[in-house]
Structure 1
Amino acid sequence: MQFLLRSQIKFFYRPSGLKNNPTFHPDSIVFTLVNKGGDDWAINVENTSPYYASFSGATVASGGREIDLQTTMLAPFSKDSWTAKLSDSLRGGEITLKARLINDYGSIEEIAHDLHP
């Protein structure tokens, strides 16, 4: 009989001088759909808070399909660009981003955001 245990521990130091509530607010993340020409697109992500934002994943729903995105941890007051894991075009209609944010307690909070081309 074999058992495999895999765990990951993240440690964040928060200086006492940080203002605001240490509970992260998903409203501090700004998502923007960017057309890079033709079928090439990306999601620009901006963290406007003084706290790190950890994501366990994200998808974009377009034309009845969900497209997985390559996500990253966002440092305070930083920007990044997320792209599809596999090359895929967005179809017309409503485009919705769903991101899974990991909070301070290790729980997943899902953020849903409508994107406009």
Structure 2
Amino acid sequence: MKSLFFLCSTLLLSVATYLFFPCMANAAVSIDGTRIVYPAKASEITIKMMNKGNSPSLMQIWIDRGNPETQPQNSDAPFVITPPIVRIDPKNGQSIRLMFTGEKVPQDRETLFWFNALEIPPVSAEQDKSSLQIAVRSRLKLFYRPAGLAGDAASAPNLVKWQIIPTAKGGYTLRGQNPTPYYVTYSKLNLQSGGQHYDLGNGMIAPLSSEEFSIKGMQSHSKQSQLIYRPMSDYGVGAENKTTVQ
């Protein structure tokens, strides 16, 4: 255990010499899937990674509760990660195992955690030791899904109720009410009202909760408003759909 702590501390110290980007634009290592679901009945799950680059990459894995500033040594998320640090050779894959430790979480809805994978590229002998290196982090949603939840996650985005709400400052917001026990995520939200189109970007609504999305530029709205949306499922981006807005 002491040797592992020393390795983690050394790795974190070395990352301080890199330029850090929380994106995957220049990453050589890809993660299988766009989200991770941990079913409560599973003893463990496996996340697959693949190094598509031409050089080995050192990966550090940790999970946080929603704060992107959480560092591996401060993470208190209820999961055991094996291995938490791994080298992946070029054109090779690696499986990461997650095991839930049994912390008490709500059993009537999903709980959201975040899976972090930090990729540290190698420094070749030809590179100047003072040259800037880039560490790239991928951050994926990790849903803990209790057993016996009503309905199913795939249908949840279609059950959200939408309503245009006037604001105190004279503008409007679009409120989505999620009556399901699942997180619903949208890669596209486009409101059509009064012959106008309003791009609301993407968004997520927590289980049994509501979320409001600002409608920039709306002066009035029609009773025949519609929302064009594209949900994200456990398997990726779903088909485009539309619904009536109150």
TM-score, scaled relative to structure 1: 0.74
Structure 1 residue 75, shift from structure 2 partner: 1.0
Q: In structure 1, which of residues 80, 85, 105 is the aligned counterpart of residue 235 of structure 2?
A: 105
Aligned to 2:163: 32
SS at match of 1:69: strand
Structure 2: which amino acid aligns with 1:49?
T
Residues 108 and 8 (structure 1 numbering): CA distance in 2 closer, same or farther, change over 3 Å? farther
1:83 aligns with 2:214: yes
Bigger drift between 41-50 and 20-29 goes to 20-29
Q: Does 1:64 align with 2:86?
A: no
* Distance in 1 of aligned mates of 2:165 and 2:223: 16
Query: Within 2, Cα distance between the matches of 1:99 and 1:80?
Result: 15
Structure 2 vs 1, CA of residues 39 and 94 (structure 1 numbering), >3 Å: closer, same or farther?
Answer: farther
CA distance in 2, matches of 1:12, 1:33: 29
Question: Which of 80, 84, 95 is the matching residue for 2:225?
Answer: 95
The answer for the alignment partner of 2:146 in structure 1 is: 15
Q: Structure 1 residue 50: deviation in Å?
A: 0.6
- Partners of 1:22 and 1:38 lie apart in 2 by 36
- Residue 12 of structure 1: SS of its match in structure 2? strand
Corresponding residue pairs, total:
113
Q: Which structure ranks higher in relative contact order (CA pairs < 8 Å, sequence separation ≥ 6)?
A: 1
- Residues 114, 19 of structure 1: alpha-carbon distance in 2 compared, 3 angstrom cutoff: closer
Query: Following superposition of structure 1 onto structure 2, how do residues 33-52 of structure 1 map, counting pairs within 5 Å?
Result: 33-36=164-167, 40-52=171-183
8 Å contact kept, 2:230–2:237: no
Residue 22 of structure 1 deviates from its aligned partner by: 4.2
Alpha-carbon deviations, 1:14-67, whole Å to 9, x = none?
A: 112423334333332110122336851111111100110011121111233311
Whether the aligned pair in 2 keeps the contact of 1:71 and 1:82 (CA below 8 Å) is no
Aligned amino acid, residue 245 of structure 2:
L
Structure 1 pair 75/61, CA: closer, same or farther in 2 (3 Å)? same
Could you list the runs of 5+ residues in structure 2 that have no partner in the other structure? 1-24, 31-137
Rounded Cα–Cα distance in structure 1 between residues aligned with 2:222 and 2:244: 13
Sequence identity percentage: 26
Which amino acid letter does the alignment assign opposite residue 112 of structure 1? K
Distance between the aligned counterparts of 1:10 and 1:109, measured in 2? 20
State the Cα RMSD in Å: 2.8
Rate the CA distance shift 1:15–1:65 in 2: closer, same or farther, 3 A: same
Gaps of 5+ in 1: none
SS in 2 for 1:27: helix
* Larger relative strand fraction: 2
